[in-house]
Structure 1
């Protein structure tokens, strides 16, 4: 595997499991030094240990990134660790699906704090410490729910659509500082976090309507994220990439 990210310091939020963990492992495999963020010590430790066991470099960043103070502290921990900050992956989310008539204020508030506001504050904190000569790369994890929506997802779809707007606006403003900002839009990916919203019948229906004939996995998404932060994507910014096996833009 190429080592094009050697010496670059990265923060991955929500890296205790799922897409975040796979992304941390792939960034480290390419040479990055990865700050592993999550709320629970044991999840963070598992990812850090997995990275080190694979020959990479990682360190724990146990912070609640749902607040401006928390995500800023997380970014600053990484910056102070290496004297530089190069890559931010905003992956953390807290998700509940509810019908329009069932939506509760506390659900909306928490989903916005973790999945929307944290993206804004993360970009702000990262831009403040990224070197304008070296620049940096930010990837926000959105969803194909930003592109097409299902019932019971009004809050989730709204947040993920908003992330695409945040991505474009940040790219427009931060390009002058040599900071690239992109997003990925995964389709349904089996993870610990999505288990509550999946079942065999639903998964089978998704597989049947996906041109590539399978569900995605966390590594599919991680590979796309690492591409977007790598020098291979050096002229790519303000974009979203659907990593979905073709399900969003086809009808089979």
Structure 2
């Protein structure tokens, strides 16, 4: 296992399952001390146990990313582990797909609170405690929906496009403090959270349109996150990395 993140403290939001959980596992395998955030304590405990069982170091951060106070508390908990914070992965999201006539105010509010505002509050809180000499890395989980939209995704696509705007603007502002800010854009990836929007026919269509001939998985996306958070990407900032098997920028 690589140990290029040894001693670094990372906080990953929404790490109780899916992409966030896999990113936490992979970062811990690379030597990071990983703060596992989720709203549900049982999910946090399961991820922390999986990391510790594999010989890694992790701690739980049960906080609600829908509120600024919860985001601030999560960053504070992570920082207090070793009096440092080196990596923040803004992954938490709550997603519902609705056709334009069906878009409900409560859906918009919750999606924006967790998928948009929480990224702003996370960047704000993390940048205050990241060391200006060591610098830091922030990775925002966006989506290929920010680049190429599908049906019933007005709210989702709008939020994820906004995440890319936040990424670029934060990179410009925080670069002087050696804080890099990038985004990863996954295509459709089978997870617990996306199960309701998937079926065999739709998956087959997605595969047929993907140059690499398969759907991505959480390990694919987590590797992209780890790369952007690592020293291997030390001169990369303000970028959006599509981890999508080529589907976004091709037409087959």
Taking structure 2 as the reference length, the TM-score comes to 0.99
1:240-251 superposed matches below 5 A: 240-251=240-251
Distance 2:199 2:95 in 1: 17
Distance 2:66 2:173 in 1: 23
1:24-173 superposed matches below 5 A: 24-173=24-173
Question: How much is the aligned-residue C-alpha RMSD, in angstroms?
Answer: 0.4
Distance 2:178 2:105 in 1: 39
Q: What does the per-residue CA deviation read over 1:207-237, in whole Å, with 9 as the maximum and x for residues that have no partner?
A: 0010000000000000000000100000000
Number of aligned residue pairs: 252
Match of 1:119, SS? helix
Corresponding residue number in structure 1 for 2:201: 201
1:2 Cα offset (Å): 1.6
Corresponding residue number in structure 2 for 1:192: 192
Moved over 3 A (4+): none
Match of 1:101, SS? helix
Taking structure 1 as the reference length, the TM-score comes to 0.99
Distance 1:193 1:66 in 2: 17
Gaps of 5+ in 1: none
1:222 has 2:222 as partner: yes
Q: What does the per-residue CA deviation read over 1:170-221, in whole Å, with 9 as the maximum and x for residues that have no partner?
A: 0000000000000000000000000000000000000001000000000000
1:66 Cα offset (Å): 1.3
1:251 Cα offset (Å): 1.0
Distance 2:114 2:75 in 1: 15
